[in-house]
Structure 1
């Protein structure tokens, strides 16, 4: 598996650091990214994180818009202007910035959630509520009529 999968909740230590799950660090290592690229999620009270795979997805998304257009600039600001590059220490830990902690509401624990090309960092109770809503929506999508796949 080359992407981020699963979910792990870890405690934040006294110095404000949290361990990135080993499987997530392995994906970043295979991806060739030094550290962790993070930005506040556009739609959720979470942080989107990843490496080169995430940056490639952002570039593909931005390529749909004309450079210097308002839409391109808005998305560039959301993806790059509020981003941070976090270093992973020798013990596999990161320190979340005060801005990221405020956006997410994280205090003592962090839930890491794999999403393939990226992962998210959540406050555990907020993620539990989001996961419940996501599962309900996924059930509704699965039940809804959809066009047949093209042959």
Structure 2
């Protein structure tokens, strides 16, 4: 399985297009099925960034919806939060996409975009916010690792 790895910076061109980094485009194309969009973008619920999903990965997000009555408010809230702000996109021949304004505003994107790989998905960030997020994640990961490796107490 192709994974999204690393952080890549790209600039918007004069027409408002930005190139998906070549390694990410390759991974997207490897995972795309015929008649599916190259990528599905949506605003993150947790961070001021844009999440980028393969169509298959995005479909897996909808699986928990089947646990709810399709006529319930819970189902409608989850479906709205998942689908209403999702944008299926294909790139042009050069791998460029145009981000919807609502997504650009959500992530505070102006001139440059940081594409951050997270394994099975990637995110689009304002570069300064991306650097801060990576630092926070490293710090938190060290804390999580320390907790996992800490003695639990009790008799040995």
Tell me which residue corresponds to 1:2: 2
Q: Tell me if 1:114 matches 2:110.
A: no
Q: How far apart in 2 are the matches of 1:117 and 1:3? A: 6
Q: Is the 8 A contact 1:4 1:116 kept in 2?
A: yes
TM (norm. structure 2) is: 0.85
Q: Which stretches in structure 2 are left out of the alignment for 5+ residues?
A: 151-156
Q: Name which one, 1 or 2, has greater alpha-carbon Rg.
A: 2
Partner of 1:144, secondary structure, is helix
Q: Is the 8 A contact 1:53 1:118 kept in 2?
A: no
Output one character per residue of 1:53-100: Cα deviation in whole Å (capped at 9) or x when no partner. Answer: 321331234344443333332221111111112220011000111111
Q: How far apart in 2 are the matches of 1:146 and 1:74? A: 39
Per-residue deviation at 1:146?
A: 6.9
Tell me which residue corresponds to 1:139: 142
Q: Which stretches in structure 1 are left out of the alignment for 5+ residues?
A: none
Q: Tell me if 1:72 matches 2:52.
A: no
Of 58, 74, 83, the residue aligned with 1:55 is 58
Q: How far apart in 2 are the matches of 1:52 and 1:16? A: 24
